[in-house]
């Protein structure tokens, strides 16, 4: 793992028995001593799962032209945000395909905060900085100085409350507050990637170990990448390099709800409009096996005996069985007999709706 970065919590993960693996340029825990299944279960069954997601990137955008800049480089309508609100959005290229999916935090009319994907950090920052020159806006990559934790599950609020000076009950879904965490300024948002109630916590690296230790002492349990992926797949949440990439537009990815064609000009707008008018080249569906097996990424999907596409994310869900997201030909998205090729055999499947299991986020 030579050349990989370590988060400020690396030694904590090792001490807890974390199995460290390369991920997005970092050494990250894929699971701890009890294994991914027990970690997953802890989060789903009412605990407070603690995730180190410091590999994610953070970019601060400031200036009188910050809003105009973000309107141009992101797909969603940033003008609809109020202070303290978070918005799911995306960065597109001129071809209308994904550079990344992001979240936008509105701190004030002249200050915003972006959370970007780990593997895309440097690409995203270069893209943002190249276009900021056209606007009265400044972009600063704060990733190296910031620790990001996710605390997810029904017990998350009770575990976090003793560490902050703000009533967490007052923070609504996809809202955030600037608070003192362990006596130091940070940001806490009611957001996550698991389908459970919880928070994402942005803090300086200097207090990362103290906050991590106090949350564990308060009943939280460490959760690795494997369980995190199980939790997000059950919700049908998109992951860059899987459901979204530079090969698909929001039309294919079912993300037109974050792509506001009526808000004014933005990068990729015309290409997306053209694709919407012409129709998708492939369509994303949710499926569930009716036969035995585990659907894995890249497994072929057949419709009426014809190969139609492949799985982008798949797993055995303890609550729902074999479930997957897959791209198929447009004409096969809604009808035809589905099957997945698993180890040379066709396993029957059926279309279903998302999420695969009930979401418990607080709306």
DSSP letter string, 339-356: EEEETTEEEEEEEE-S-S
Exposure string of 40-75, with b = 16+ CB inside 10 Å and e = fewer, is bbbbbeebbbbbbbbbbbbbbbbbebbbbbbbbbbb
Query: Could you give the CA distance from residue 33 to residue 264 in angstroms, rounded to a whole number?
Result: 51
Query: Could you give the CA distance from residue 195 to residue 237 in angstroms, rounded to a whole number?
Result: 9
The strand ranges marked E within the chain are 5-6, 19-23, 26-31, 49-52, 57-62, 86-92, 98-108, 111-116, 138-141, 146-152, 176-181, 184-189, 198-204, 221-222, 283-289, 300-303, 306-317, 321-328, 338-342, 345-352
Alpha carbon 245 to its chain's center: 13
Contact (Cβ atoms closer than 8 angstroms) between residue 349 and residue 339? yes
Mean pLDDT computed over 55-65 = 97
Look up residue 89 and give its DSSP letter.
E
Query: Could you give the CA distance from residue 312 to residue 296 in angstroms, rounded to a whole number?
Result: 8
Nearest to 324 by CA among 255, 259, 239, 250: 239
Spell out the residues 6+ positions from residue 109 whose beta carbon is closer than 8 angstroms to its own: 66, 67
Residues of the chain with CATH 3.30.1360.120: 1-279
- Check: CATH 2.40.30.110 for 282-352? yes
Alpha carbon 176 to its chain's center: 17
Query: What angle, 0 to 180 degrees and rounded to 10, lies between the N-to-C axes of helices 225-235 and 36-44?
Result: 50
Position 70 scores a pLDDT of 98
Tokens (6 digits) for 167: 């009533």
Tokens (6 digits) for 307: 């190969």
Spell out the residues 6+ positions from residue 159 whose beta carbon is closer than 8 angstroms to its own: 48, 151, 215, 218, 219, 220
pLDDT, tens digit, for every residue of 190-213?
Answer: 999 999 999 999 999 999 999 999
To which CATH superfamily is domain 1-279 assigned?
Probable tRNA modification gtpase trme; domain 1 (3.30.1360.120)
Mean pLDDT computed over 51-57 = 97
Give the H/E segment covering residue 123: helix 121-132
- The yes-or-no verdict on residue 2 having pLDDT over 70 is no
pLDDT, tens digit, for every residue of 131-163?
Answer: 998 999 999 999 999 999 999 999 999 999 999
Spell out the residues 6+ positions from residue 336 whose beta carbon is closer than 8 angstroms to its own: 303, 304, 308
- The yes-or-no verdict on residue 110 having pLDDT over 70 is yes
- The yes-or-no verdict on residue 297 having pLDDT over 80 is yes
Position 73 scores a pLDDT of 98
pLDDT, tens digit, for every residue of 240-283?
Answer: 999 999 999 999 999 999 999 999 999 999 999 999 999 999 99
User: Is beta strand 49-52 parallel, antiparallel or unpaired with respect to 221-222?
Assistant: parallel
Contact (Cβ atoms closer than 8 angstroms) between residue 190 and residue 172? yes
Look up residue 333 and give its DSSP letter.
S
> Phi and psi at residue 92, in whole multiples of 5°?
-115, 160
Position 1 scores a pLDDT of 47
- The yes-or-no verdict on residue 129 having pLDDT over 70 is yes
Residues of the chain with CATH 2.40.30.110: 282-352
What is the distance between the terminal CA atoms of the chain, rounded to a whole angstrom?
Answer: 41
pLDDT, tens digit, for every residue of 75-106?
Answer: 999 999 999 999 999 999 999 999 999 999 99
């Amino acid at each position: 793992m030579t050349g990989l970065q370590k988060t400020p919590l690396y030694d904590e993960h090792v001490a807890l028995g974390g199995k460290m693996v390369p991920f997005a340029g970092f050494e990250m825990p894929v699971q701890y001593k009890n294994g991914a299944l027990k970690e997953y279960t802890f989060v789903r069954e009412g605990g407070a799962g603690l995730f180190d997601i410091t590999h994610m990137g953070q970019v601060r955008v400031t200036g009188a032209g910050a809003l105009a800049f973000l309107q141009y480089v992101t797909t969603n309508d940033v003008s609809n945000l109020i202070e303290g609100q978070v918005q799911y959005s995306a960065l597109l290229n001129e071809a209308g395909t994904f550079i990344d999916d992001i979240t936008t935090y509105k701190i004030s009319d002249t200050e915003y905060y972006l959370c970007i994907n780990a593997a895309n950090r440097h690409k995203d920052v270069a893209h943002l900085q190249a276009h900021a020159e056209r606007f009265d806006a400044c972009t600063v990559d704060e990733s190296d100085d910031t620790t990001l934790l996710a605390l997810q599950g029904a017990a998350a609020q009770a575990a976090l409350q003793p560490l902050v000076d703000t009533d967490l009950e007052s923070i609504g879904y996809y809202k955030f507050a600037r608070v003192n965490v362990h006596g130091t300024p940070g940001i806490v948002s009611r957001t996550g990637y698991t389908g459970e109630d919880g928070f994402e916590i942005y803090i300086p690296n200097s207090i990362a170990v103290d906050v991590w230790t106090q949350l564990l002492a308060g009943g939280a349990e460490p959760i690795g990448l494997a369980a995190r992926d199980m939790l997000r797949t059950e919700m049908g949440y998109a992951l860059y390099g899987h459901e979204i990439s530079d090969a698909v537009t929001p039309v294919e990815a079912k993300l037109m709800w974050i792509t506001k064609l009526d808000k004014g000009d933005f990068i990729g707008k015309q290409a997306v409009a053209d694709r919407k008018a012409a129709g998708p080249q492939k369509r994303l569906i949710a499926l569930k096996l009716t036969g035995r097996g585990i659907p894995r990424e890249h497994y072929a999907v057949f419709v009426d005996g014809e190969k139609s596409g492949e799985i982008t994310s798949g797993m055995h869900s303890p609550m729902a069985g074999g479930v997957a997201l897959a791209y198929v030909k447009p004409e096969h998205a809604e009808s035809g007999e589905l099957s997945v090729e698993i180890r040379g055999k066709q396993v029957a499947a059926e279309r279903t709706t998302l999420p695969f299991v009930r979401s418990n986020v607080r709306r």
